[in-house]
Amino acid sequence: MQNVSDRPVQCDRVSVALGPRSYDILVGPRLLETAGQALRGLLARPRVVVVTDRAVADRHLATLDQAFDAAAIAHQSIVLPPGEGTKDFAHLEELTGYLLDAEVERGDVLVAFGGGVIGDLAGFAASIVRRGMDFVQIPTTLLAQVDSSVGGKTGINSAHGKNLIGAFHQPRLVIADTAVLDTLPMREIKAGYAEVVKYGLLGDAAFFAWLEKNGADVLSGRADARRYAITRSCAAKAAIVGHDEHETNDHRALLNLGHTFAHAFEAEAAYSSRLLHGEAVAIGLSLAFALSVELGLCPPADLERVRRHLGAVGLPTSPAEAGLTGIRSERIAARMRQDKKVKDGALTFILARGIGHAFVEHAVPAAALAHVLKNALGA
């Protein structure tokens, strides 16, 4: 049998160019088996701590453990409960306590092995333990592989809201093993796919056209289609983060296309599994294009293409399609005003002049938003 640590590694490599904080994203099947090799060069001493959740541990931790054994890297793991509830102060305390009990040093590496919840929590813990230790992302959901593991946004939720406590802390490496997605439930795959669509809509019309043709294959798990979609998404995010690491100019904000709408509907669903983040993003993408059409900026035909594609892959394009009914538009508008800086009655939104041409607009009239929301909610 071939020793997994000697297996030639076939993967795509995307670089996130951030000067001294630059790092690579590796994308390909079965990269878990060679993760020890990939990490070895980053380690000051041959030891890592892994943080994961129960669902991921049950399916994939044994493979990762073998990879570390094969590379002679000592390892220990903390397994947390799955779900958004884990991104809280209590689990941050548990994780940082575990790391200090393990006597980690600044040069040691924490491995975030899971979806966006584990990645955000682990990254934040790494940013504060011993005033900042290294961490590596091994994302296991489509959403985490194309979005949350890249770019260094880390954090937890608090009673005041989602992602309000956090830090920018870049990982040293991201390893996206496309084969681990084979165990991910289809609903989660679809939710992550909404973020893939986002990259096409915000800046890459050719990619959106490719998704219109190949999206079904990405979802069903055809290996080359999935890998291509993930690599291209990571390249898009890497380019944006490279221009605007800390969201200080309007570049990185483009990644929030559809997200102001999405956050309002997620809050309406109490951040529960009634509406996954990616499902809310799909609704938000449709509404961001509807608002762009309302303002005369975007051809209506492009809005139709967005709706048609999201619908074709089984993502919601309206609150009703996601089972959210009986919500008044004024309630959503009020939530959005809280999320946004309002100046002289105008709001900032990511809009689009067409597919692949998103931009930041700082003067969206409240009346136009009200009209779009009323159409979407029917009240």
Binders of ligand GLY among residues 131 to 160 (CB under 6 A) are 147, 151, 153
Asked whether 174 and 136 are in contact (CB, 8 A), the reply is yes
131 is catalytic: yes
3 given a catalytic annotation = no
Using the contact rule CB under 6 A, the part of the chain among 112-120, 241-249, 299-307, 346-354 near ligand NAD is 112-120
Has 252 been annotated as catalytic? Answer: yes
The one-letter amino acid at 354: G
How many CB atoms within 10 Å of residue 159?
7
* Residue from 144, 189, 218, 373 in contact with ligand NAD (CB under 6 A): 144
Which strand (E) or helix (H) includes residue 112?
Answer: strand 109-114
61-64 long-range contacts, CB within 8 A, separation 24+: 61/113, 63/32, 63/33, 64/32, 64/35, 64/111, 64/113, 64/138
Residue 56 binding target from ligand GLY, ligand NAD, none, CB below 5 to 8 Å by type: ligand NAD
238 makes contact with ligand GLY (CB under 6 A): no
Q: Among 60, 169, 277, 307, which one carries the catalytic annotation?
A: 277
Query: CA 139 → CA 17, 284, 322, distances in Å?
Result: 20, 24, 26
Interaction of residue 266 with ligand GLY, rule CB under 6 A: no
Under rule CB under 6 A, residue 143 binds ligand NAD: yes
What distance in Å separates the CA atoms of residue 220 and residue 225, rounded to the nearest whole number?
9
Using alpha carbons only, how large is the chain's radius of gyration in Å?
21
Which three-class secondary structure state does DSSP give residue 321? helix
Please confirm, yes or no, whether 256 is among the known catalytic residues.
yes
Structure tokens at 298: 């975007």
H helix intervals, the chain: 35-40, 54-56, 62-70, 89-101, 116-128, 142-143, 186-203, 205-220, 223-243, 250-253, 259-268, 277-294, 300-312, 329-339, 366-377
Q: Pick the catalytic residue: 91, 252, 305, 335?
A: 252
**Which residue in the set 25, 180, 225, 310 belongs to the binding site for ligand NAD (CB under 6 A)?**
180
From the candidates 195, 245, 266, 361, give the one annotated as an active-site residue.
Answer: 195
Q: Which is nearer to ligand NAD, 59 or 130 (CB)?
A: 59
The catalytic position among 91, 190, 232, 259 is 259
Q: Which of 229, 255, 322, 377 lies at the binding interface for ligand GLY (CB under 6 A)?
A: 255
**Residues 359 and 349: beta-carbon distance below 8 Å:** no
Interaction of residue 198 with ligand GLY, rule CB under 6 A: no
Q: Is 94 a catalytic residue?
A: no
Residue closer to ligand GLY (CB basis): 153 or 309: 153
Closer residue to ligand NAD (CB): 115 or 215: 115
Residue 59 binds ligand NAD, judged by CB under 6 A: yes
Angstrom distance (rounded) from CA 83 to CA 47: 28
Q: Establish if 147 lies at the interface with ligand NAD (CB under 6 A).
A: yes
Tell me: does residue 114 bind ligand NAD (CB under 6 A). Answer: yes
- Span interacting with ligand NAD, options 182-190, 219-227, 312-320, 332-340, rule CB under 6 A: 182-190
What, of ligand GLY, ligand NAD, none, does residue 184 touch, CB below 5 to 8 Å by kind?
A: ligand NAD
Sign of CA dihedral 324, 341, 356, 243: negative
Residue type, 227: R
Residues taking part in catalysis: 131, 153, 195, 237, 247, 252, 256, 259, 263, 277
Can you give the binding site for ligand GLY, defined by CB under 6 A?
Answer: 147, 151, 153, 252, 255
Can you give the binding site for ligand NAD, defined by CB under 6 A?
Answer: 53, 55-56, 59, 82-84, 87, 114-118, 120, 140-141, 143-144, 147-148, 151, 153, 162-163, 180, 183-184, 188, 277
